[in-house]
Chain A
Amino acid sequence: MNTFPLLSLTVFLPLLGAALLLLLRPRGRRTAFAIGIGPAALTLLAAGLVWARGVPGGFTQLEELPWIPAIGAAYRLGVDGVSLPLVLLTAVLFLATLIYSANTSEQPASFVALMLLLETACLGAFLALDLLLFYVFFEVTLVGMYFIIAGWGHDNPKQAALTFFIYTLVGSLFLLLAILALYLGAAPHTFDMRALLAHPPLGGTAAVLTFGALALAFAIKTPLFPFHTWLPTAHTAAPAAGSAILAGVLLKLGGYGFIRFGLQMTPDAFRQLAPYVLGLAVFSAIYGAFAALGQTDIKRMVAYTSVNHMGYVVFGVAAAALRPAGGPFGLDGAVLQMVSHGIVTGGLFLLIGALQDRTHTRDMGQLGGLAPAYPVLSGLFILASFASLGLPALAHFPAEFQIFLGGYQVAPVATALLLVGLIITTALYLRAIQRVFLGEQPAVLSPLGDLGARELWAIGPLMALIVLIGLYPEFLLGLIHATQRLLMAGHE
């Protein structure tokens, strides 16, 4: 049973769905989404089975097929405690967003097919254990997202999609340079990530330059200040489902990259440069919070909180790089933070989509008093906002707590500065809630009532997960921690 290629199945089930859609070309919206939601649900099931099989710490459930033996590249998949939570997050979020967007009337078959292609690319990137394979999946996420923004976005989608494309393409070019350096630095030359993780190939200046290229590539993806400018534009233009995936999953590729590549393949260079990364992360987190505070568009506001939250992630990783012996708190927190942020922000973007469907505006100046009219929508939004600002017993709290704990041991001043970001975030969410949901009820209300079944099926499970992670983070942390301990032990 254990030889069954469950990981490949997980990765390629969505692609199978996409192929089915292209083959059948269903005209109807319902058929298209039925064909799409089926494979997405099965993918979640498969990801669950991967978990059930057991992930003890190091890479397991390895799959390897020869691909290009001439240059040491192969089809290699594997899973560990860092990638599995992200795989589960991906599977959950794609299922939720597909359910949510089941009312898309414009070319539904193409939309679903693209989403499924994107899901395969994301899962593949998290599970790939070969640099070349990772790179290919990484690039496909970029192409898929580009088309989703350009094809189904609003306002000025083509322009936003282009900005997104150029930015991340340049980022991935630096990733390619780093991959080349890692490959050429390894003896014998190989793209096998496990070999490169076990024996980081580079030293000295080469390692520093390679880490620089990696940091640049992933800082654009994450994004960190000053490479974040593509993010608000892309979010404003993207459809709700696209935003949820962009913030929920694609940004995680940046955080994942910092851990898998930066921390594991160029550990010494990362340690050497960690103070700078740490500083940039702190600045980015505070900057994101202040920028969010300045927004009147509620979607842009949430987009900027992503810059804030992902700043915490990088902070946690950098703290772990700075002093591996200081304990794995920072890294544990960073991985959990990625999951929490994916669920919370994914949920928030879907809720904003639902809000926009009803009010046709996202300008907080024009919104107000919506709570009595839409009690469920408002309640869930407030729950997700509280989670996002880091309220205890909700998803972000255990993650951020661990990050701060890890950071405090290494850089107490920087950690104290980060707390400023926390306060600003609290303020901005409370103000947004007050502006949008409280106050005087508007005279004209859209005929659409409170959240419907479709929206509830999509958003409800995410909200349940927010509470579950908040109350019992151990179900993920145990998994993450086992791997982190191994990882940190390797670098002492």
Chain B
Amino acid sequence: MSSGGMDMKRDLLLVLPQIVLLLTAVGALVAEMMRRRRLSLGWALVGLGAAGAAALRQLGADTTAFSGTFRVDALSHWSVLILAPAAGLCCLLARQELRGTPREGTVYSLLCFGTLGAALLAGTGDLMFLVLGLLINSLSGFALAAYSKTKAGTEGALKYFIYGTVTTAILIFGLTYWVGITGNTLLTSLSRPDLPPLALAFGFVALLTGLGYAASIFPFHFWTPDTFEGAPVSVAAYLSVVPKIGVFFALAQVGRSLPANGPVAWPLVLAGLAVASMTFGNLLALLQQNMVRLLAYSTIAQAGYFLLGVVGLPAGAGARRALIVFAAAYAAMNLGAFAVVLSTGKTLADFRGFGTRRVFAAVALSAFLFSLVGIPPLAGFAGKLLLFEATMAAGYTWLAVAAVLNSVLSLAVYLRVVAVMYFGGTGETPQTGPVSWAGQAVVVTCFLITVLLMFVL
């Protein structure tokens, strides 16, 4: 009995970062109920910082909690270390965009709830945690996407909701097959050699459907551009970063347990989806005139790069490291780009003459976009380079080549924006609110990370 108590205490300490995230979300909600918006924001920021600190203290541990159902490893630690600051930056963006709106505090709370969901996904060692994390994450996402109550916002949120519930239902249905063949919900039991291949494959396809939607992997991406466009920009920024990182880390957790050369050739499937996602996202991004839609298609393309890291997993720890570095780089460059869009305007035309009108913001946006291409010495280059290495180590040289070629294609996507900023003539200043300290802080932080990440690797 006493040893059970000891175990409980140990387990709770191990998931301390996730507990702090939960308390942060709840506290922010309570502050909103008291109509104390600034307290809500402050609580969220402090709480997210505390969660990060708790994860930092545990860095290096590699164990499990709650009888192997939750993994306390590099992925779960780094998910908190990346997602908590990212969510904090999203809160600041929301402060700039939604300040004074009726339910401002709920946004901070929901952002923290969603982050908790993503962090649970990242450490999942069990199908139940996977479903739980996905649900917490997507339920808060639905509410956030519908926040603005405009026609476009409602339409986008509805698409997100319907699509999300259907794919999640498929996921849960498929996972019951896995439970059926293994007899329990642990991911580790998937590595048994005697499992019936058809049921295993069915479960995997269902899993991909559910997770693929949350991470906007082609062909589960349909909701992405409409939802991003309709939602507040700060929410779109959040949706492009936090759920995605959680899901890819969860996929990596599954990939650790599912035999790569077993009956389901999952790396091959993911490699195919990666190429499709990258190519599709980049090609459609080329056609966009709206910056938010452009960034939405860009996140579909970047999802393909994330998949490279999962494909590389069977070859060793390099892939996990690549995933983590790319996730950090991606969070910084993508949030930064959204932050600049928020303070400038949603259409490409709003960026005319931006290069001379707001010199620093234009330089920063150029850095974010070139980093998304993967130009050295920016953060995105480090991430992509490690991803290419990991993929090749796993024997998928063709995938690395396809990814490199897609980077070439993506240069055209992002260069279009840079060209408008510097060579598009002088546009009239679009009607947006004043640039607040919060938005400015986000741009500066993301810029510093994008430029300096390579130097701290």
Identify the A interface with B (CB < 8 A): 67-71, 132, 135-136, 139, 158, 162, 169, 173, 176-177, 180, 183-184, 189
Given contacts A158-B423, A184-B388, contact A71 B377 (CB under 8 A): no
14 contacts between A and B (CB under 8 A): A67-B455, A68-B382, A70-B382, A71-B386, A71-B457, A132-B377, A139-B375, A169-B411, A173-B408, A173-B411, A176-B376, A180-B404, A184-B389, A184-B400
B170 contacts A by Cβ under 8 Å: no
Within 374-419 of B, Cβ neighbours of A (below 8 Å) are at 375-377, 382, 385-386, 388-389, 392, 400, 404, 408, 411, 415, 419
B373 nearest CB neighbor, chain A only? A173
User: Among A68, A158, A177, which residue has its beta carbon within 8 angstroms of that of B404?
Assistant: A177
User: Among B408, B423, B455, which residue has its beta carbon within 8 angstroms of that of A177?
Assistant: B408
Residues of A within 8 Å of B423, CB to CB, are: 158, 162
**A135 and B423 alpha carbons, distance in the complex (Å):** 25
B454 contacts A by Cβ under 8 Å: yes
How distant is B290 from chain A, measured CB to nearest CB, in Å?
24
B385 nearest CB neighbor, chain A only? A71
**A132 and B457 alpha carbons, distance in the complex (Å):** 15
* Other A-B pairs, 9, CB within 8 Å; known A67-B455, A71-B457: A70-B382, A132-B376, A139-B375, A158-B423, A177-B408, A180-B388, A180-B404, A184-B400, A189-B389
Within 429-447 of B, Cβ neighbours of A (below 8 Å) are at none
**A177 and B388 alpha carbons, distance in the complex (Å):** 12
B422 nearest CB neighbor, chain A only? A162
The interface bits of chain B over 67-102 (1 if a CB of A lies within 8 angstroms of the residue's CB, else 0) are: 000000000000000000000000000000000000
**A289 and B124 alpha carbons, distance in the complex (Å):** 69
Within 252-304 of B, Cβ neighbours of A (below 8 Å) are at none
Residues of A within 8 Å of B404, CB to CB, are: 177, 180
> Contact: A68 with B400, CB < 8 Å?
no
**A177 and B385 alpha carbons, distance in the complex (Å):** 11
Question: Which of A169, A173, A184 has its CB near the most chain B CB atoms (within 10 A)?
Answer: A184
B423 nearest CB neighbor, chain A only? A162
> Contact: A68 with B408, CB < 8 Å?
no
> Contact: B411 with A180, CB < 8 Å?
no
**A14 and B354 alpha carbons, distance in the complex (Å):** 30
Task: Tell me the dominant secondary structure on chain B's binding face.
Answer: helix
User: Among A70, A136, A180, A183, which residue has its beta carbon within 8 angstroms of that of B377?
Assistant: A136
Question: Which of B385, B415, B423, B454 has its CB near the most chain A CB atoms (within 10 A)?
Answer: B385
**A227 and B444 alpha carbons, distance in the complex (Å):** 39
**A69 and B382 alpha carbons, distance in the complex (Å):** 12
How distant is A147 from chain B, measured CB to nearest CB, in Å?
11
How distant is A213 from chain B, measured CB to nearest CB, in Å?
10
User: Among A71, A135, A162, A184, which residue has its beta carbon within 8 angstroms of that of B392?
Assistant: A184
B382 nearest CB neighbor, chain A only? A71
How distant is A130 from chain B, measured CB to nearest CB, in Å?
11
**A448 and B115 alpha carbons, distance in the complex (Å):** 72
How distant is A75 from chain B, measured CB to nearest CB, in Å?
11
**A173 and B27 alpha carbons, distance in the complex (Å):** 49
User: Among B375, B419, B455, which residue has its beta carbon within 8 angstroms of that of A176?
Assistant: B375
How distant is A171 from chain B, measured CB to nearest CB, in Å?
12
Residues of B within 8 Å of A139, CB to CB, are: 375
Residues of A within 8 Å of B376, CB to CB, are: 132, 135-136, 176
**A162 and B404 alpha carbons, distance in the complex (Å):** 25
> Contact: A68 with B454, CB < 8 Å?
yes
**A104 and B17 alpha carbons, distance in the complex (Å):** 60
**A21 and B408 alpha carbons, distance in the complex (Å):** 37
**A266 and B389 alpha carbons, distance in the complex (Å):** 21
**A177 and B404 alpha carbons, distance in the complex (Å):** 7
Residues of B within 8 Å of A67, CB to CB, are: 455
A206 nearest CB neighbor, chain B only? B397
A132 nearest CB neighbor, chain B only? B376
**A71 and B411 alpha carbons, distance in the complex (Å):** 23
**A158 and B385 alpha carbons, distance in the complex (Å):** 34
**A489 and B400 alpha carbons, distance in the complex (Å):** 35
Residues of B within 8 Å of A173, CB to CB, are: 408, 411
**A71 and B388 alpha carbons, distance in the complex (Å):** 12
Residues of A within 8 Å of B385, CB to CB, are: 71, 180, 183
Residues of A within 8 Å of B454, CB to CB, are: 68
Complex A-B, nearest 6 residue pairs according to Cβ-Cβ distance, in ascending order = A70-B457, A162-B423, A68-B457, A132-B376, A68-B454, A136-B377
How distant is B97 from chain A, measured CB to nearest CB, in Å?
33
How distant is A328 from chain B, measured CB to nearest CB, in Å?
33
Residues of A within 8 Å of B455, CB to CB, are: 67-68
**A173 and B404 alpha carbons, distance in the complex (Å):** 11
Residues of B within 8 Å of A70, CB to CB, are: 382, 386, 457
Residues of B within 8 Å of A136, CB to CB, are: 376-377
Question: Which of A67, A68, A158 has its CB near the most chain B CB atoms (within 10 A)?
Answer: A68
How distant is A482 from chain B, measured CB to nearest CB, in Å?
33
**A67 and B455 alpha carbons, distance in the complex (Å):** 7
**A158 and B353 alpha carbons, distance in the complex (Å):** 13
Within 300-335 of B, Cβ neighbours of A (below 8 Å) are at none
**A24 and B375 alpha carbons, distance in the complex (Å):** 32
A150 nearest CB neighbor, chain B only? B422
How distant is B364 from chain A, measured CB to nearest CB, in Å?
15
How distant is B329 from chain A, measured CB to nearest CB, in Å?
13
**A177 and B401 alpha carbons, distance in the complex (Å):** 10
Residues of B within 8 Å of A71, CB to CB, are: 382, 385-386, 457
Within 338-386 of B, Cβ neighbours of A (below 8 Å) are at 375-377, 382, 385-386
How distant is B428 from chain A, measured CB to nearest CB, in Å?
20
Residues of A within 8 Å of B400, CB to CB, are: 184
Residues of A within 8 Å of B408, CB to CB, are: 173, 177
How distant is B419 from chain A, measured CB to nearest CB, in Å?
8
A139 nearest CB neighbor, chain B only? B375
How distant is A143 from chain B, measured CB to nearest CB, in Å?
10
**A132 and B400 alpha carbons, distance in the complex (Å):** 19
A70 nearest CB neighbor, chain B only? B457
How distant is B18 from chain A, measured CB to nearest CB, in Å?
28
**A71 and B415 alpha carbons, distance in the complex (Å):** 27
Residues of A within 8 Å of B375, CB to CB, are: 139, 176
**A139 and B377 alpha carbons, distance in the complex (Å):** 10
**A184 and B398 alpha carbons, distance in the complex (Å):** 13
How distant is A191 from chain B, measured CB to nearest CB, in Å?
10
Residues of A within 8 Å of B392, CB to CB, are: 184
Within 14-65 of B, Cβ neighbours of A (below 8 Å) are at none
Residues of B within 8 Å of A169, CB to CB, are: 411, 415
**A281 and B432 alpha carbons, distance in the complex (Å):** 54
Residues of B within 8 Å of A184, CB to CB, are: 388-389, 392, 400
Residues of B within 8 Å of A176, CB to CB, are: 375-376
Residues of B within 8 Å of A177, CB to CB, are: 404, 408
How distant is A1 from chain B, measured CB to nearest CB, in Å?
30
**A162 and B376 alpha carbons, distance in the complex (Å):** 21
Residues of A within 8 Å of B419, CB to CB, are: 162
Residues of B within 8 Å of A162, CB to CB, are: 419, 423
**A136 and B455 alpha carbons, distance in the complex (Å):** 14
**A169 and B419 alpha carbons, distance in the complex (Å):** 12
**A132 and B411 alpha carbons, distance in the complex (Å):** 19
**A180 and B454 alpha carbons, distance in the complex (Å):** 16
Residues of A within 8 Å of B457, CB to CB, are: 68-71
**A442 and B411 alpha carbons, distance in the complex (Å):** 53
How distant is B456 from chain A, measured CB to nearest CB, in Å?
9
**A177 and B410 alpha carbons, distance in the complex (Å):** 14
How distant is B150 from chain A, measured CB to nearest CB, in Å?
38
How distant is A109 from chain B, measured CB to nearest CB, in Å?
17
B391 nearest CB neighbor, chain A only? A184
**A227 and B323 alpha carbons, distance in the complex (Å):** 39
Residues of B within 8 Å of A135, CB to CB, are: 376
**A169 and B418 alpha carbons, distance in the complex (Å):** 13
Residues of A within 8 Å of B415, CB to CB, are: 169
How distant is A67 from chain B, measured CB to nearest CB, in Å?
7
The interface bits of chain B over 182-221 (1 if a CB of A lies within 8 angstroms of the residue's CB, else 0) are: 0000000000000000000000000000000000000000
How distant is A380 from chain B, measured CB to nearest CB, in Å?
38
**A177 and B415 alpha carbons, distance in the complex (Å):** 17
How distant is B401 from chain A, measured CB to nearest CB, in Å?
9
